[in-house]
Structure formats: C-alpha cells, structure tokens
Amino acid sequence: MSARTSVEKQAEPIEGSRFFGRLWRGRVVVVTALCVVVVLALSVLGILAGSSSLSFSDVVVTLLGGGTSGQELIVFDLRLPRVVGGVAVGAALGLAGALTQTFARNPLATPDILGVTSGAALGAVAAIVLAGGSYSVAAGLLSLGLPAVAAIGALLTAAVVYGLAWRGGVDSYRLILIGIGATAALGGITSYLIARAQITEAAAAAQWLVGSLSGISWASVWPVLVVLLVVTPIAVLQSSSLDISQLGDDLSTGLGVAVQRHRVVVIMCAVLLTAAAVSASGPIEFVAFVAPQIARRMARTGRPPLLASALMGAVIVVGGDALVRGVLPGEVPVGIITAIIGAPYLIWLLTRRKERESYA
C-alpha cells in the first residue's frame, strides 16, 4: 500500500451525521447517551447521600417546592450545589484532558502532567496565602476572584511549557517531560508558600489542595458552568481539525488546517476549563487523565470523543463523591478517591511494552 493510499485511508470520513463539524459514529452517540443516564443516576444518589437521611420521594417533593424548610436547606443549599459542582468540575476536567491528549497525540498529555493544574493551583494558593499579609499585589489579584487568579496561573504555565517545548514544532514526549518538570517545580513553590504562611491561611490552602467538593457553593459553581457553556461549543467546533491533526503537522497544513492557530485555540480551551475546575474544587487529580481514556475505549475511537470524555469525567467525580459520603466513614475528599483510581492506571500505561501510543 502506497503512502498516499495510507494517508487517504486515515483521512477517509467515517459514515455518520455531522454535528458541529464532527463526524459521529453510532457507538459514540450510544456511549455519550449512556454517560448522560449514568450522570443523572449518580446525581440523584449524590443528593440522597449524606448524614441527614432523605428518601427519594422527599427529594422529589422538595425539588418541586413542597418540602419543609429543613429539607430545602439540605437539598438546595448543601447537596444540590455539591452535585452540580461535581458534574461541572468533572466535565471540565474530562473535556480538558481529551483536548490535550488529542492535541499532543499522547494519552499522558493531560493538564495534570503538563503543569497546567499545578499552575492554576499555585496561582490560587499564592493569592490565598499572600493576600493575608502585606502583599498588595496578591490582594489585588484575589480581588479578581479565585477563578481569575487560577486562570492566570494556568495560562502562564501553559505558555512557558509550550514555549520551552517548541523546536520548530512540538514533540509530545518533549512536551510531557517539560510538563513533568514544571509540575515538580510549581509543586515545590506551592509547598514553600504553605510552609511560610500563617496557620489559618496554610490550613485553608492545604485543605483546598486536596481536591474536595465539601466546601463548594453556588458562588463557586456558577463560574465553572459559565466556562463550560462558553468553551464546550468552541472545543467541539475544533473536532474536525483535531481529527485531521492526527495525521501530522505537514499533512494537516496541506489539508487546510491552520495548525498553530488550531493549537492555540485548543490549549486556551483546555487551560480555561482546568482553571475553572481547579478554582472551584481544588486540583482533583487524574480525572483529566482517566476519563478520556475510558471514553475512548468504550467508544472504540482513534481519539477521545470530546462530549463522552466530559461526561465520563462527571461520572468519576460525582460517583466518587457519592461513594465517600454514602459508603465510607467520615468526610474523605474526592481527590483522594480519584488518585487511588488514576495512579494505578498511569503506572500500567507507563509500563506497557507497546509502541509509543498515539492517536494517529
């Protein structure tokens, strides 16, 4: 088979209907719909789970406006924002992971590995810790809001990592190695800030760094929802370019893709999604890594399907949070559960004796 025939075969459209420029296969639609059902079911379980027992009928009646004042407080002020926040945070991380993995053509290229999550965390922790002292710059940044500060940290980190990885193009493994180094450096700075902070500020920052939905409220949920509503359509519009980019930079350019502009758009989308999620719940590890891979294997596609990856992220976060509240004793942060799930998978992926994985 000639090289031209091989390229044409890879670029051949898959039969299906177009939506936002994406060629969808039936299995992708089925997996996406299944994820929607699972998210809804887990959301109901998330509202039911907790120390104060509520029956399913109590929840339904309260949501329809017929509950007691105590039930309304539990459902609308405590559990519903936690569930909605878990869905939003998980979806943002899952979609961000799918974008970065596809853009780099490597399953290891997630916001966690590339340093974006650590950059967002450092920005937020710096604002929390330094704003409590005489640091007017940090206080001014914190006045912008935690999501804005986290976004600044994530954007700066992404720009530095991408710039250092650029050598007439971006090699995914060089990008990952630089990202790992950036993650370690940023983690060290974050630890230093916590060690030098006052006790109350250090405790608040350390609790936030674990990654938990326990302190989430409607005020922290709305920014994530807004970012999701704005960024998701932009990301889905990049689907066709993401498919073509799997063929390599030269072929993508020849097929009419503005490679560098496309990459900037994809990176910006991933960074904004990660920053919004981290600012709401803290860095919930491994969701951006695991969710796209599960969705890709379920859908049997060459790259992670975007919407299915987002919904799978919501499944992992909401399901993990419902588990820790309904089954495990005490208040265990969901970030610990996702780390327990994701770390073994990362080790397994790193120790596989296959050729270097890519989505080409």
Looking at residue 14, the DSSP 8-state letter turns out to be P
Strands 18-19 and 22-23: antiparallel
Q: How far, in Å, CA of 304 to CA of 29, rounded?
A: 13
CATH of 18-350, one of 1.10.1790.20, 1.10.287.3510, 1.10.275.10, 1.10.3470.10: 1.10.3470.10
Residue pair 116/270 in contact by the 8 Å Cβ criterion? yes
Residue pair 196/131 in contact by the 8 Å Cβ criterion? no
Nearest to 150 by CA among 4, 306, 273, 303: 273
Q: How far, in Å, CA of 310 to CA of 299, rounded?
A: 13
User: Token pair for residue 138?
Assistant: 């940090």
Tens digit of pLDDT at every position of the chain (360 positions): 444 444 444 443 433 344 443 445 788 889 999 999 999 999 988 888 776 777 778 787 877 877 777 877 888 888 889 999 999 999 999 999 999 988 888 888 888 888 888 998 888 888 778 765 444 444 455 556 666 787 788 888 988 988 888 876 666 678 888 989 999 999 999 989 888 878 877 777 777 788 888 878 888 898 899 999 999 999 998 887 777 776 666 666 666 666 667 778 888 899 889 988 988 888 888 899 899 999 998 988 888 999 999 999 999 999 888 887 777 666 778 888 888 877 787 777 767 645 444 444
Q: What's the pLDDT at 257?
A: 66
Residue 13 burial (CB < 10 Å; 0-12/13-18/19+)?
Answer: exposed
Q: What's the pLDDT at 266?
A: 87
**Residue 22 backbone dihedrals phi, psi, to 5 degrees:** -100, 135
Task: Look at the block and give the residue holding tokens 């109901």.
Answer: 44
Q: Which H or E run includes 22? A: strand 22-23
Q: How far, in Å, CA of 52 to CA of 54, rounded?
A: 6
Give me the amino acid identity at 69. Answer: S
- Domain limits, the chain: 18-350
Q: What's the pLDDT at 2?
A: 44
Q: What's the pLDDT at 261?
A: 76
